[in-house]
Amino acid sequence: MTMISNEKKRKKVAIVGMGVTGVSVLREWTREKEKGRAVDITVFGDEKTFGRGFPYQKEDDLIIMNQPADLATIIPEEKDDFVHWLKEKGEKDPRKGYYPRAVFGNYLNDRMKSWLEQSKARVIKEKVETIRPLDGHCFRVCSTSLTEDFDYVHLCVGNAPYEDDYNLVHHPHFIANPFPLKEKLQSIPFGVSLGVLGTGLTSIDILRYAREERPDLSLSFYSQSGRFKTARGETIPYTYKYFTEENIKKTKEKNDGWISLTTYLNWMIKEINHRGIQLEHDWWFQDFGSIEKVQRDIMDPYILGVVQTLILGLDPFLTEMWGALTEKDKNRFIEDYGEIWDKVRSSFPKESGEILVEEWKKEAISVYGKVHDVIKRENHFEVLLEKNVKKEVEYLINATGSIKNVDWKIGRMPLLAQLLSERVLQPEVFGGVQVTMPNLSAISQRYGVLHQFKVHGPLIAGIQFGNNSIDILSETAQTAVQSIIQKDFS
């Protein structure tokens, strides 16, 4: 194992993970280096997802993004950068198109290669195994073949592993991680029954792929709700009257920095009324994501589109709004409105909704809710539903989403387990780990606030609420890097 001593004249930056957040951090340090900052950049990442990240790895073109091209960019100041890249590749009118995730991965990889060249960054295509603070001024990073000290570390490792609520991960007929789908589904024998655990966006990906490439599989879906996300409605241009930077600031000033959940709910109702739409209280508690409701929303997408547009447009304010809630109000939001918010905000394209409805109508799929347990048998599984109803499937694929509440026992992610076990990172009650906002500095029970250790992406979703969008992940990389520049390079 090579040991390299820390160089005193230049600052050394380690970027651990090279998906959307890692590439965004690279972009920002490349800009700083072009300004003459004396920094040396090293990027770490595994070969398979390097420069793409887990969601945008090489995959079948049937697996598409859940947002149109004009809402996806890796350069915050250039909102149409992905659109322009697509035009350069021969697409004539890409703005509102829903492109394969692998295509966005190609775009991300292109931009990364350019910044790697500009910054002369060193590339280490290995997973980092441990990160440990040294004397409060630097961090020792160990990968498979390298041990080196860095002045600054950006942890950009993406999502935690998928949930395994029923302890199935070691069963030979259980697919714990569904991606890449082409590889995972092709490994399943011909003509078997395949159960999908979860009815989120990943389940729609599985449906789309299986429908075209594995129609021999008998497909069924299982979750607590038995309902999917919503289909994307009409995108309605909107200017906020209540959810504004000025209004949020004034309300916080009047209330010692707090804003109540009741205030947000009132603003939401007023914004919708401002559009000339009067929604009954019951509208918010419909069976969102049921196949019948998806069918209705596809036929009449206007009202849902107004609400989706309103919610999606809140992205620039979400972190501040979440931080202004008390812990009690955060918990109330999650318990009373969390599922509604998630199903309306995390929508899938209309085309995917049409496929879902079509397959359901011709009874090509089955959907079940109120899952109580999953029993492992030698060559199959029994899914237990309410009233002791059992459904038998030969294979199960995991679409439950990533683990939110992390701890040191997270065995499928050794680096995170080490950081939590040694109290370098501190779990956050609402998911992920604790950081300061907006600087993303790690909060450690053992070391205090680690200004030189930044944590990005889904691992901080409990603090940076709603950060599962490309624009939020990309923009906050700017703030994190600038907090270092202002403190240590001024």
Average pLDDT over the chain, rounded to an integer: 94
- Contacts by residues 377-385 (CB-CB < 8 Å, ≥ 24 positions apart): 379/173, 380/173, 381/168, 381/171, 381/173, 381/174, 381/195, 383/195, 383/222
pLDDT value of position 4? 42
The structure's pTM equals: 0.93
pLDDT value of position 136? 65
Distance of CA 248 to the CA centre of its chain: 26
The pLDDT of 385-398, averaged and rounded, is 96
Residue 214 has pLDDT above 60, yes or no: yes
Q: Which residue has the higher pLDDT, 58 or 119?
A: 119
Residue-wise pLDDT for 198-211, tens only, equals: 999 999 999 999 99
Between helices 350-361 and 291-299, what is the axis angle to 10°?
130
Residue 411 has pLDDT above 80, yes or no: no
Nearest alpha-carbon partner for 283 in 263, 261, 264, 306: 306
pLDDT value of position 407? 87
pLDDT bucket at 390, cuts 50 / 70 / 90: very high
Distances (CA, A) of 388 to 132, 372, 380, 384, 394: 50, 9, 18, 6, 19
pLDDT bucket at 5, cuts 50 / 70 / 90: very low
Residue-wise pLDDT for 64-86, tens only, equals: 998 999 999 999 999 999 999 99
CATH 3.50.50.60 in the chain, residue ranges: 2-161+404-488, 174-228+349-398
Return the H-helix or E-strand segment holding 23. Answer: helix 20-34
DSSP string, 321-340: HHHTS-HHHHHHHHHHHHHH
DSSP string, 104-137: HHHHHHHHHHHHHHHHT-EEE-S-EEEEEEETTT
pLDDT value of position 7? 44
DSSP state of 17: -
Cβ contact 36:30 at 8 Å: no
Residue-wise pLDDT for 315-364, tens only, equals: 989 999 999 999 999 999 999 999 999 999 999 999 999 999 999 999 99
Cα separation, 139 vs 148, whole angstroms: 8
Cα separation, 10 vs 474, whole angstroms: 26
> CB burial class (10 A; 0-12, 13-18, 19+) of residue 35?
exposed
Mark 368-384 as b/e (b = at least 16 C-beta within 10 Å). beebeebeeeeebbebb
The pLDDT of 307-313, averaged and rounded, is 92
Query: Does the 2-161+404-488 domain belong in CATH 3.30.70.20?
Result: no
The pLDDT of 292-298, averaged and rounded, is 93
Cα separation, 340 vs 83, whole angstroms: 31
pLDDT value of position 480? 98
The residues, any chain, with a CB within 8 Å of residue 346's CB and separated by 6 or more, are 66, 200, 201, 229, 468
Q: What percent of the chain has pLDDT over 70?
A: 98
CATH superfamily of 174-228+349-398: FAD/NAD(P)-binding domain (3.50.50.60)
The pLDDT of 442-464, averaged and rounded, is 96
Residue 6 has pLDDT above 70, yes or no: no
Residue-wise pLDDT for 187-199, tens only, equals: 999 999 999 999 9
SS3 breakdown of the chain: % helix, strand, coil, rounded to 5?
40, 20, 40
